[in-house]
Amino acid sequence: MSPDADAPLHRPGAPTKPVFLRRLFTPLPPDLTARLAAYPDLLRRAMPLRSGMERQLPRLVRELSQSLTSEREGGPRPGYLSDPRALSAYAWYYLPWNLIRLSRLLPGLDLNLPDNALVCDLGSGPLTFVQALWLSRPDLRRKKLRISCIDRSRRALDLGLKLFAELAGFDPTAEDAPWRIRVARGEYWQGLTDGADLVAMINVANELAGSSRDPLDSRMERVAAQLVESLAPGGRALVVEPGTRLGWRCLLGMREAFIDLDIHLSGPCPHREECVLAGGRTRAWCHFNMSPKGAPKWLTTFSDRANLGKERLSLAYLLARKVQPTLEKQAVRVVSGAFALTDVPGSAVYGCSQSGLVVLVAPDRCPPAPGDLLAVEVPPDAPCDGKSGAPRVTLPGDPAARPSERPQPERNERGRGTAPKTPPTRDAGRSRAPKPGGSGAGPAGPLRAGRPGRKAGSPQSREKAGGPARTSKKPAVRPVRRGK
């Protein structure tokens, strides 16, 4: 925001008042948490299990987790959800946790679809995205939508249709259904339809990463070109990945292609320059962590039985729209959790802005939440952060704010204990990549040096994302796959 014309000159390190624009992650509303609490009943009706199979579920979940996180070449076999045992494990563990992740994210996204909109869900699995959209966006339930879902596993698609019918209370395959869903077995590119208002790829790109010998960036750029080619004017492409380094790398390649194709980036990036975390001084990457608060008791208990309990949920995402690019003035997106600074009191978070990385300092230890979008003026004489090289902007405290209005320390999934009063330092936990379902360290890195100009190749055929490969200059990343 612009300073008042009559205001005194800014003193280095003096508080800068931000303008709150919007919150990305919203709490789960009571009606949604009630539906999730009753979800086991839906699962048992849609996919009855023998008592012996139900007792084996924790072990089957662990085996599926090992397969999905395998670093061996090839990872999980294509169409692994066609195996009834794998699908059962997936439906009782990965599906509900992904419903929670997506239900926290989707309300904060610009997904105002028109009536009779066409939605293409690529790599649908058991219709995870469509279920989450119905649960978390009641504003869209009143609209007529045509939804096309494709996956390698017909068994998973059929299960998703049954679960959605239970959730929504109508048959989505009927001609007069408000959300008319058509499913088909096939590869992701076979689900692309011209004139789509929304194309969604949820936890698919990381599985595609190991399916080609081409460099990862080249592969992702071609996938992004395919998505853009299928969009109607004003249409949106939403890609969500696990909050892993590989997930971010997949999105980074797509982001570069979207920019080269002159597509508007709706989120999370508030700018079109080089990613502020690419080539940084640390091993940080762009992803968002959130508390599992609101998860039903049955799910946390079952996760503990499988030795896969969660203290945090994480994801990375990219939302692009086929319109002329626009920018919000002085926009800063919070891209980390709170951490402590060694030389000043309070806590801080990293922000992503058009001018580069920014360190937002909260002397009252109540910084903005991860994902929040603010309008912040970065003074030209702002002090420089010694570790990241980014300018530090001190935010004013608000002692009059009610406790409920301030970001609260995250509790663990059992509700016991809170985060320490002194936030962790930036170096805490950065020695290795996060465990499955866990969180990585918050983003950090130096100011960017500017994005080199480069033009992407023309969109490729949908039948095969082929074409000449270019050599990636980014460090190699071992594939770490996650379920849909």
Closest CA to 244 of 203, 274, 299: 203
Q: How far apart are CA 218 and CA 465, in angstroms?
A: 10
**What mean pLDDT comes out for the span 226-241?**
96
Which H helix or E strand runs over 249?
Answer: helix 245-260
The model's pLDDT over 250-300, given as tens digits with 9 standing for 90+, comes to: 999 999 999 999 999 999 999 998 888 886 665 678 999 999 989 999 999
In a domain, 422, yes or no: no
Does residue 16 lie in a domain region? no
Two structure tokens written together for 183: 């499913």
On the question of pLDDT at 357 being above 60, the answer is yes
Strands, E assignment, 340-483 = 347-353, 356-362, 373-375, 392-394
Task: Identify the pLDDT of residue 202.
Answer: 96
- pLDDT class of 104 with cuts at 50, 70, 90: very high
Whether the Cβ atoms of residue 95 and residue 128 lie closer than 8 Å to each other = yes
Query: Residue 21 falls within a domain, yes or no?
Result: no
> For residue 110, what pLDDT band results from cuts at 50, 70 and 90?
very high
Q: Which two tokens stand for residue 122?
A: 């690529």
What pLDDT is stored for residue 437 in this prediction?
36
> Considering its fold, how many domains does the chain have in total?
1
Token pair 């309008």 in the structure block, residue: 375
69, 190 contact by CB (below 8 A): no
Least confident of 76-80, 124-128, 305-309: 76-80
In a domain, 401, yes or no: no
- 374-405 residue pLDDT tens: 999 998 889 998 888 889 999 986 544 433 33
| Alpha-carbon gap, residue 311 to 81, rounded angstroms | 26
Q: What is the pLDDT confidence band of residue 425, given thresholds at 50, 70 and 90?
A: low
Report the alpha-carbon angle 57-62-66, nearest 5: 145
Tell me the CATH number at 58.
3.40.50.150
Q: Distance (Å, rounded) from C-alpha 461 to C-alpha 411?
A: 48
Ranges of H-type helices in 92-241: 95-105, 128-136, 138-141, 154-168, 205-208, 216-230
Whether 475 has a pLDDT exceeding 60, the answer reads no
Angle at 173 between CA 167 and CA 175, to 5 degrees: 120
- Predicted confidence band of residue 32 (pLDDT cuts 50, 70, 90): very high
Burial label for 166, CB within 10 Å (0-12, 13-18, 19+), is middle
Instruction: Using the predicted structure, report yes or no on whether residue 439 has a pLDDT greater than 70.
Output: no
Q: Which two tokens stand for residue 442?
A: 């918050």
* 8 or 142, higher pLDDT: 142
Give pLDDT tens digits for 180-202.
999 999 999 999 999 999 999 99
pLDDT at 208 over 90: no
For residue 276, being part of any structural domain is answered with: yes
Higher pLDDT, 81 or 452: 81
How would residue 465 be classed by pLDDT, with cut points 50, 70 and 90?
Answer: very low
Q: Is residue 245 included in any domain, yes or no?
A: yes
| Beta-carbon contacts of residue 100 (< 8 Å; ≥ 6 apart) | 28, 36, 292, 294, 295, 313
3-state secondary structure of 146: strand
In terms of Cα–Cα distance, which of 111, 326, 60 is closest to 238? 111
Lowest mean pLDDT across 65-74, 243-252, 289-298, 366-375: 65-74
Could you tell me which residues are beta bridge partners of residue 267? 319
Residue 129 and residue 373: Cα distance in Å, rounded? 24
pLDDT band at 344, cuts 50/70/90? confident
In a domain, 449, yes or no: no
Q: What is the pLDDT at residue 77? A: 73
Least confident of 341-345, 415-419, 422-426: 415-419
- Predicted local confidence at residue 398, as pLDDT: 54
Domain that holds residue 102: 30-321
What pLDDT score was predicted for residue 69? Answer: 74
Average pLDDT over residues 220-240: 95
Looking at the predicted structure, is the pLDDT value of residue 97 above 50? Answer: yes
Identify which of 3-12, 195-204, 431-440 has the greatest average pLDDT.
195-204
Q: Is 359 within a domain? A: no
Instruction: Provide the whole-model pTM.
Output: 0.80
Say what the pLDDT of residue 479 is. Answer: 42
Backbone conformation region of residue 389, classed left if phi is above 0, alpha if psi is from -120 to 50, else beta = left
Report how far residue 170's alpha carbon sits from residue 184's, in angstroms, rounded to the nearest whole number: 20
> Tell me, what's the pLDDT at 279?
67
Listing DSSP states for 77-92 in one string gives: PTTGGGSHHHHHHIII
Return the H-helix or E-strand segment holding 36. Answer: helix 30-37
> Average pLDDT in the 153-157 region?
97
Q: Does residue 452 have a pLDDT over 80?
A: no
Residue 355: the pLDDT is 85
Indicate if the pLDDT at residue 456 is higher than 80: no
- Sheet strands (E) in 248-307: 264-267, 288-290
Please give the DSSP secondary-structure letter assigned to residue 391: B
Average pLDDT across the chain, whole number: 81
pLDDT for 482 equals: 46
347-353 and 356-362: which strand pairing? antiparallel
> What is the three-class DSSP state of 222?
helix
Q: How far is CA 67 from the centre of its chain?
A: 22
What confidence score (pLDDT) does residue 265 get? 93
Sign, CA torsion 297/38/162/26: negative
Q: Return d(Cα 231, Cα 294) in angstroms, integer.
A: 35
Is it the case that residue 81 has pLDDT exceeding 90? yes
Question: Which residue from 40, 204, 43 is spatially nearest to 121, judged by alpha carbons?
Answer: 204
- If one compares 32 and 218, the residue with the highest pLDDT of the two is 32
Closest CA to 306 of 42, 62, 38, 37: 62
How large is the greatest C-alpha to C-alpha distance in the chain, in angstroms?
A: 75
Residue with tokens 């023309």: 458
For position 318, what pLDDT does the model report?
96
| pLDDT number for residue 445 | 34
